[in-house]
Structure 1
């Protein structure tokens, strides 16, 4: 009998990213982590609200992502906001970095999660900033959809 695949377990999500940016495409990337960071992530403690990805020494890194120290690690703990290397294929990395340099887009982390094999992954979005008018239209559309759902629900009762 085949073992059931367990669904992806989300650790942290950047909910504001879709509001602040137009996300053109997304990419899954691995992370180079210490053991204390993985244990802290498994507890569900992480924040990627202010994080971004970029280039350092020809490699792709995740900057300013907060993974708190794990209390059981004692002296083998990690720095909470250290730069973490992202693991992507060379071809994907060169394509992303080329778009960042050429077109003025940015790389925004969308979510931290564990895949079905239990490996920590980050979803990176290729993002283009929204203007204030776009944000106002998004709020207006969201409120209209909410009111429309209320009206339809009241009509069926």
Structure 2
């Protein structure tokens, strides 16, 4: 935040997704078979999720932090060195203490679906290490951006 450039963009290309970030497959992201190592998609989705929250102005919640609770990933096609990926992200569910994200990575320019994921993060108090309610100051921008596509 604080005037930092946004590395993602609002997009209407793949409803219900409304936001995406671009990423390039670097050589270090590939395995001995020449394809993206399966674990590298998680940082791609982390990047998209961070830029999504930068766009909404909800990059951090004072006095609390989000931690990963669950992550389910499905691989549809192999990406290779130098591919350009558009990683879409959305909040599909906003719970009392948790947020569920849907993610999808498409290769550009041919729009082939590479990977989909669902991730749930929980807001925790960093001292007590216990779930804490998501404040209205973080909920309101998400509701306004996701609109009717958001489950609560």
Q: Whose strand fraction is larger, Structure 1's or Structure 2's?
A: 2
Same fold (TM over 0.5): no
Please tell me whether Structure 1 or Structure 2 has the larger radius of gyration of its CA atoms. 1
Q: Whose helix fraction is larger, Structure 1's or Structure 2's?
A: 1
**Which gives a bigger RCO, structure 1 or 2 (Cα 8 Å, sep 6+)?**
1
TM-score tier (shorter): 0.3 to 0.5
TM-score (norm 2): 0.32
TM-score (norm 1): 0.32
